[in-house]
A and B are shown apart, each in its own frame.
Chain A
Amino acid sequence: MKILIIEDEKELSTGIADYLSSQDYTCDVAADFAEGIYKIEYNEYDCILLDISLPGGSGLKILEQLKEDKKTDGVLIISAKNSLDDKIRGLNLGADDYLPKPFHLSELNARIAAIIRRKKFDGNNLIEFHNLSIDTQNKTVNVNKNPVELTKKEYELLLYFISNKKRLISKDAIAEHLWGNDMSGNFDFIYTHIKNLRKKLLDAGGTDYIKSVYGMGYKFTNQ
């Protein structure tokens, strides 16, 4: 999977690239408008992370160029300008999602995974992790082919874990993912959800992949 990061803050783009590389993505970085235009012209990407304020021009212009060229690359706008106008214009121009800065890398990763799943819809909406399988089309989960009944939030939580497998996910990132920006900081809720999810997966004969990492959060791993 190839990702293009169009972002002028070098520290940010390398940080994103580091994290995404660990999730088996190949990352390409463009630091300004011209480089961004050049790279989208000559390459195909599964997903493009697009900052709006770029040296040399607006990221929205790059989006327009993509649509003009009839390219189908997924586009995720990452903008510090938490401006409604930009968000609406971006989505109207055909961006797939909008994530305001600052964001959790795990959240970014989950959004990219969702975009790629949607773009490559050709029947392959089954995510598998060892004995676990998730059908993102019907939102059903199976453990060793046994169906598991999950609540909406438990399902979202599991999908979030699988999208960020083997990486540490902070409690804050989980809270924000499940309930939005305003609910982060309330960690008791997460604990209950994780306890329930764990129990349901174990009851269905699965393995406990959810590991608590002291003081930090959780990791979804088979090790």
Chain B
Amino acid sequence: MKLLAKYNRVTIPITIATLLISSIAFYFIIHHVLVHQLDKDLLIEKQEILHHIDETGALPEVSDYKDQQINFTISRDRPMKNKFSTQTVYDSSEGEEKTFSRLDFPVSANGITYIATVKKSQQETEDIVRLILMITFAVIAFLLLILSIASRFLLGKLWQPFNNTIEQLKQFNLQGKNEIELLKTNVDEFTDLNNAAFLMTQKVNTDYELLKSFTENASHEIQTPLAIIKTKLELLSQSENLAEAQVNAIQSLNDATTRLSKLNQSLLLLTKIENRQFATTEKVNIASVLLGYLDNFEELAETKNINIQKNIPTELLVEMNESLAEILISNMIINAIKHNHKGGTIDVDIEDHTLFISNTGHTPTNGTADYFERFKKDTASNDSLGLGLSIVKKICETYGFLVSYKYERERHVVSVQFTAGS
């Protein structure tokens, strides 16, 4: 729920309630004042009647107007003082009930005591009250209208720096747009937000740079001594007349060094993919990358009498980093060759944006679910680090490709579903 909606949810009912309650109070006050005024008018009328009797000694004429009626009745009871009351009379001519303020008071004329009754219609009073109420409701409606318009336009404008900051943060990307442009604002809260966002992005940028350079420096620092060891071993192996024991020692050292170096490279590659350091993407034709690598490994496969069946269209364009595409494809093919047996087969298919590479090989002895995990391998062969498939998986995760492995009909099937690179 938007903040404005939440705010409105509280303020609008309160506003309406306040206005309604005050209208009701207003109604009663106005009504009271006006009725009181009518009573005063009745008293004035009384004075006029008394005055008339004083002057003429006779009762004034009985009058029967719509809004004022005067009549006299002979009082049989003892005379009373002023008696105010309200009377509702059905007016047959207008077909509705009418309310009158009524004053009864005793008058004496010609020695007879009458009860004089003066009635004044409250019609006008009610009209006024009604008008006032209508104006009040109109004011409520107008106020609500103004409030909603104001919140739509004025508040939209007020929140603009906030919305801009949010938008900038959304677009913030370590590889691409790694600076945010914030709108100047004189609202303290937004200024605070902007400052915090700015400091945060700065820190993220420096941390990222540090991490990146650490990764590369670590690679450098480890590869350099490895390069020295490897170079010296190679020179040592050039020596004539090496004893068998020495040859074996050199060979073991060489193998270990190679493994160490590859391990380092693979782990760095995984880290770099995780850090999204392969940010540049382009439309890569997976089909042609695949054909290139199959061509490269064709002779290799032949030496193991592995038959490769291809069912590849001429084009499968996928938006991704070219180096990662090559690593992905070569890892999948090498995996299929390495874990194959002599005279086996490899099927390579592309269907509906999905690449399937299946191969014959050893029946898995353990579960196959963790083949994508690092360092998981079915055999204890030294020439495999168990990182190939986890690199495949990591690359797929980076781009949201669906990667899966299954063992069915005595074949290992690895598939990658590329999202359409249209």
Binding site for B on A (CB under 8 A): 9, 11-12, 15-16, 18-19, 22, 53, 80-84, 100-106, 151-154, 167-168, 170, 172-173, 178-186, 188-189, 192-193, 214-217
Contact = CB atoms under 8 A, between A and B. Distances in A.
Chain B interface residue number, banded: 35 or more
Nearest to A9: B224
A182 B227 CA distance: 17
A172 B254 CA distance: 9
B230 interface: yes
* Residue in A16, A22, A173, A185 with the greatest tally of chain B CB atoms within 10 Å: A185
Contact of B219 (A80, A154, A167, A172): A80
Contacts of B384: 185
B338 interface: yes
A186 B244 CA distance: 22
B232 A15 contact: yes
Chain B interface, DSSP helix/strand/loop, else mixed: helix
Contacts of A180: 296, 330
B223 A80 contact: yes
* Residue in A53, A80, A83, A106 with the greatest tally of chain B CB atoms within 10 Å: A80
Nearest to A18: B235
Nearest to A196: B303
B299 A19 contact: no
A167 B238 contact: yes
Contacts of B382: 185
A102 B223 CA distance: 6
A105 to B, nearest CB: 5
A9 B261 CA distance: 18
Given A12-B231, A102-B226, A215-B244, 8 more contacts: A11-B228, A15-B235, A19-B238, A82-B223, A101-B223, A102-B261, A106-B234, A168-B237
A153 B244 contact: no
B247 A216 contact: yes
A188 B303 contact: yes
Interface string B334-372: 100010000000000000000000000000000000000
Contacts of B265: 82, 181
Given A102-B230, A167-B238, A182 B219 contact: no
B300 A105 contact: no
Nearest to B257: A102
CB-CB nearest 3 A-B residue pairs: A185-B383, A102-B227, A15-B231
B82 to A, nearest CB: 106
Contacts of A186: 300, 338, 383
B220 interface: yes
Given A81-B219, A84-B323, A185-B383, A170 B248 contact: no
A19 B235 contact: yes
Contacts of A103: 227, 230
A57 B255 CA distance: 34
Contacts of B238: 19, 22, 167-168
A42 B290 CA distance: 47
B247 A215 contact: yes
A183 B334 contact: yes
Given A182-B330, A182-B388, A214-B244, A189 B304 contact: yes
Contacts of B231: 11-12, 15-16, 19, 102, 105
Contacts of B277: 84
B369 to A, nearest CB: 24
Given A151-B299, A172-B258, A189-B303, A12 B250 contact: no
Contact of A215 (B234, B251, B257, B299): B251
Contact of B297 (A167, A179, A192): A179
B48 interface: no
